[in-house]
Structure 1
Amino acid sequence: MGEHQGGKFSRTRGQIYVEIGIRASMERLWTLSQDPDLHPRWDLRFSRIVPRDGDDGGPVSFRYEFRLPFHTISGTGTSLGHRRRADGQATSVLKFTTRDALSPIGPGSGYWRYIPTAEGVRFITGYNYQPGMGTLGKLLDGRVIRPALGWATAISFDRLRLWAERDLDPGDSRNRWIIDAAARSGGFLASALLLRRALTGPFAGAAAAVGVAAAMASCFLPAHRTVPRAGRCLRLAPDERAGRAPSALVALPSPGGGGLPAGEE
């Protein structure tokens, strides 16, 4: 349940898949991930989630927001969670859509799996969507938007892990990531200045050596264990079931007819 460097396959073409091992109880992880007030605190993909209606044990409709500097993207969704299963697992499925022309993400669907292990819980997500923003969105999707979403999902999962395992507030883990990123950027800048001096000024050998050392430290010095990292997540499904949506997703109502179908178990 440490860092993951690879996987075997992703069943659905284009699907974003993220998995992380979390040393916490199922109950704690379920609460932190399913509570609409707690979820946006660790998940970079949402600024706000507002439940609208739904019966206990049935589908729940919700409105979501993602705040940008000069615009707030909003949309609607439908979700359904299964907390109790005979095999000890839990699942949650959702479909979502938006009419916002500036949203890079159009109608889509996804799932979460909570799989108990001897050390805690395997927490898994897989989701797919139709690109938004018309032709521009389609051009940017594969090279920019999906990689950015995959990274945002992975680092969000590690923030959740730190919250569940160490009780480290997601705001604090975000600040630690910013400090780490700033320190590494400063190291690269110092390296560039030193290497430039090595070419134009005195003490060329010493400046070059220190510049190379600064660059290598910025690249390879491990982040502190309390700094969230996307690299701690698995990004490809290691087995067929993990990369396949629960069958409940097929029957889940779409919010405004926008959801994408997914494979059944």
Structure 2
Amino acid sequence: MSAVTPREIVLAAQAGGYAVGAFNMHNPETTQALIQAAQLAEAPVFLQIGRAIVPHLGLAEAYRMVRHELDRSGLQAPIHLDHGTYDEVFEAIRLGFDSIMFDGSHMPFEENVAATKHVVTVAHSFGIPVEAELGSIPDASDSIDWESHYTKVDEADRFVAETGVDFLAISAGVMHGVPDLEPKPLAIELIERIRDVTNVPLVLHGASGVPADELRQATAAGVHKFNADTDLRHAFRRGLEQVFAQGDRQLEEAMAEGRRQMIEATMEKMREFGAAGRARRPAPEMAAV
């Protein structure tokens, strides 16, 4: 368990005017990369168990992998369930996850409210904060009907008031993956309007490929947690491919290079989010003499 709670991490980002990064891991090497990047950048981080790894390893095995790497590293960081289903949320609570995201965004609004409210009640009884999503995040494409995906301000207001969620993931121009064409600018005014009616820290999923200046604008508008995976996964893949391009090489050598490049890419994200250096502990006061 993190010594600083997930809620405290995000509220510190809100108070400090920056955003914390939340990144997915896929195997021990990518888990190590995220941990080492956080240590080198002295940045807070959420280690996310997401939709890719759960079908591959199972939720329990994925959690044990991350917990093992985290415990032996000495880093204190929350393990977060990303896009959890209704059943996975309760399994995650039993396993000991530090925070959870329940994704009921595919449900009709009233059903999403009811399901999320129950999840919040149970999770809060264990001291676990809940992130939920309203609106939908499209897959990367050059033909997106954005109005059908954007989070509605009036629904966000009611959703937060009725469910009691700690953080709200919204749709405001981000997408899953990195598009080949120039991405649509973020809807900053929409983010501001949602911030003003909900009064909770906002989350944007799909931060890969978003220009740094737009990330800063989104942070100023109320986003204090960014989820990113694609850019980091591509960095790991580049390391593998560069080693194997040299001929037949050991898999371990390729994964080590993938890990190195993913560390660099993760640290760059932390700098873009304004989180680098934010986990630095103040020096102890000198004793009076």
TM-score strictly above 0.5: no
Instruction: Indicate the TM-score class for this superposition, using the shorter chain for normalisation.
Output: under 0.3
TM-score if structure 1 supplies the norm length?
Answer: 0.25
Larger Rg: 1
RCO higher in structure (CA 8 A, sep ≥6): 1
Q: Larger % of helix: which?
A: 2
Q: Larger % of strand: which?
A: 1
TM-score if structure 2 supplies the norm length?
Answer: 0.24
